[in-house]
Structure formats: structure tokens, C-alpha cells
Structure 1
């Protein structure tokens, strides 16, 4: 294994460790790291999408076993996100044959989504408190209106994820907190992960069909991230959330600002 490939293993280890310890930061850290290594933006996004689909699959099995997934909500989200992925990938494929134009779109979108993710990570608890405070003992939205808003949320998440590989985690969880404030947090998290797997898998395979995939790179990332997730999960709660969350948010904001502006 040469030095460059060893660096990818270390990157996977670090990102996996952060994900295992905090539950967030997978795509929002991995894609910028791949860009820093000099990986083409489109290839970085495509590779990270399949990386996310594989690493989150284990989370679905755990949450399913513990009955932490609301499959109805997952279905409504997927109804919006998967078609959005297909349309976004079609747009990317036909918009411009110039690779530089495609990379410019992806990089700009990545910066904007990272800034939004930084805000979601930093103000997650305040947003959750706001949702509970305004819902009282009932949800703000119910029935058909709630289902439509869930589909629209999936549509927005699908577009962001297909463009940047980011959005299904922190932003998706915050959106579900607002739409379903009475659903227990563990079920919201499990539902978000259950939705993220088909979303990232479809988007990743779509990018792979466009040639935006490095299978060898994916293997090295997984080689590091799987033990990293295991180690990080055993340190959950050791570092105070009030310290971890601002640090992660600041890092995402700094990367997003640089990419967007």
C-alpha cells in the first residue's frame, strides 16, 4: 500500500471515528477531505455516496432490530427523494459536457449545503425545542398536509444529496424533528438512516453509471472507516456534546465558506 492509499485509509478511520462518536459528519466531512486529496469533485461525490450507503446499512439493521424505524415516514420521504435523484442526475449528465462546468456546479452546491449543515449541527437542540414548544401536545401538521410536506422534504434532500452527497444526515434529521416533533428521537434517527440508505445507494449507482466512481478508493475508505466507527461508538458521551457540536459546526462552516465563496 503506497502513501497516498494509506492516507485514504486514515481519512476513513477519522471520519468513521467522528460518525461513531457523534452520529453526524459522514458525508459532510468525507467529500471535502477527498477534494483536499485532489479527487475530482464529481468522483468524490459519487464515491462518498456509495460509502455512505454501505456504512449506514449496518445502522439500519440495528435500528430495525430495536424497532426504531417508522417505515411509513421512510416511504413518504423516498417517494420524493428517489425521483429527485433521478432528475438531478439527468440534469448533471445533460447540462454540459464540459467536466469543468459540472465540477463547478458540484463545488458551489457543496459549499452551500455545508453551510446549511453547519447551522443544523450547531442549532439542532434549539430547533428541536422550538418544534416542541410550538406543537404542544399535537403535531403542527397532520394528515394529507403532513404527507405532502414529507414528500417535498424528500425531494429537497434527494436533490441536495445527488449534487453533493450531503444533506441526508443532519439536515434530514432536523427536518423530521420539525415535521414529527412527537415522534421519539430514537425513531426519528432510525427513520432518517433507513431513508438515507436507498437514497445514497440510488444516487451513488447513478453517479457510478456516469463514471463518477473510484472503486479502489471506496475500498480504502471502508478499510479505515469500519474500525473507526467501532472505536468512536465506544467513546460516545465521553466528550461533552456542547464541546463536540460547536467544533464540528465550525469546521463545516469554514469548509463550506471556502468552497462557496
Structure 2
């Protein structure tokens, strides 16, 4: 139980500092450290991430850009629900096969390496001096639909949400973090709730992780005010890259 609390605390702390990192590390740790099947790990990650992101969002909700969040959620919620229903439509035996777990683990590992590289470049490259033109509504809806499907299938999609907010909407750093937290919390919460109702996730499994994660979010939020943003981006990037590398290593070696 103490190991679960420690892992939850680590992931919660990372969410509190940046809104990213922790949720992306949680899935690889479930698979590699606790030997949870990838299909079950997706469901557990969705539920855990939704709760700790909601707590972190409570400290930033005034900075949310509701326009961009609305377009992303308009596409993301139905797409996420559709993906969960599709996964449940698959035969239960298929979801337990080693090949399925391997495929999910590889997909998540590749996504984490991609997100990590983007985050690393974001921390190392100078900030953009000229604001981007705001994207059209249909672009936000389409991006949200893609993010919703990725979240429901893998539990790691916050990187795509951050990319969508960067490429489609001209948001300040505080607005981007707050809006990413809101969108990610909803897009993990909806499928996570479905998995809980369906019995895929048992609350008793979540409790030890939440015992560590919930208080660590507040601590991470306090620490973030004393760390340079570019340095924080690099640290989070290295955490995400480590998670992706760890996951792929467990699959191929």
C-alpha cells in the first residue's frame, strides 16, 4: 500500500506543478511496477487522473478560456464516449490477450515519447513573440474529438490538448494550463466514470493512489511558484520521456 501512496504522491505533485507529467507517468508505472494489464491500466489511469486534475483545476479555474475549452469539449466528449463503447463492444477475452496489452503499451509509449519531445522543445526554445490567430470553431471541435478518442483509448492525451491550445488558440501560459486542466479533467472523467460504473475500475484500487495524490497536488502547486517556467517544462519533459522509455523497454526487453 505504501508504494501505491508514493506513486500517487509523485504523480499528484507533478500535476500540481505543471498540469502535465504526472498523469502521463501513472500509466507506465501501473504497467511496469504493478504489473497491471494495459487495458485495466487505461481505465484506472482515467479515473485517477480525472480526480487529481479536478483538484488542481480548482486552484486555476478563474484562468480558464471557456471559448476554446467549449469547442474542444464539444468534440471530445462524444468522441470519448464512442471510443469507450467501442472498447466495451470488443469481446472480453480479446481485451485480456497479451497482444492487446502489448499494442496498447506500445501506442502509449510512442505517444509519451512524442509528448516528451514537444514539451522539451517548449522548455528550451524561446517563447513566441507574436500571438497566433485564433482557430475556427470546427478546428477546435475536430481537435477535441481526436483528443477525446486518444484519452479514452490510452488515458494519455493531455499533450494533444496542450498542442491544440497552442496551435489553434492564442492563450497566455496561465490560461493554457488552466484550460488544459479543465479539458483533460472532463475528457478523462467521462470515460473514467463509465469504466467505474461498468465495474472495470474498483474504487478500492484507486484509494491508495489518491491518498498520496490528492495532498501532493496542493504541494506541487506551491512549489511551481518558485521554479522558473522553462526549467519546469524541461523537468516535466524528462519525466514524460522516462515514462515512455520505461514502457517500451518493458514491452521489447
**1:173 counterpart = 2:162:** yes
**What is the distance in 2 between the residues matched to 1:243 and 1:119?**
10
1:117 to 115, 118, 138: 115
2:179 to 178, 188, 191: 191
Aligned-residue offset at 1:44: 1.6
Per the normalisation by structure 2, the TM-score is: 0.85
Unaligned runs of 5+ in 1: none
Instruction: Count residues in correspondence.
Output: 245
- 1:75-134 per-residue CA deviation (whole Å, 9 max, x = no partner) reads 1111111111122112212234322154344223212221222122212246884xx46x
Match of 2:213 in 1: 225
RMSD over aligned CA atoms reads: 2.5
**1:12 counterpart = 2:8:** yes
**What is the distance in 1 between the residues matched to 2:234 and 2:181?**
24
Q: Secondary structure at the match of 1:166?
A: coil
211 and 68 in structure 1: CA distance in 2 versus 1, 3 angstrom threshold: same
2:54 to 57, 69, 74: 57
| Contact residue 74 and residue 141 of structure 2 kept, 8 A | yes
**1:248 counterpart = 2:239:** yes
| Contact residue 63 and residue 69 of structure 1 kept, 8 A | yes
1:150 to 127, 140, 144: 140
138 and 37 in structure 1: CA distance in 2 versus 1, 3 angstrom threshold: closer
Match of 2:35 in 1: 38
**What is the distance in 2 between the residues matched to 1:243 and 1:108?**
24
Per the normalisation by structure 1, the TM-score is: 0.83
Pairing 1:58-97 to 2, within 5 Å after superposition = 58-64=55-61, 67-97=62-92
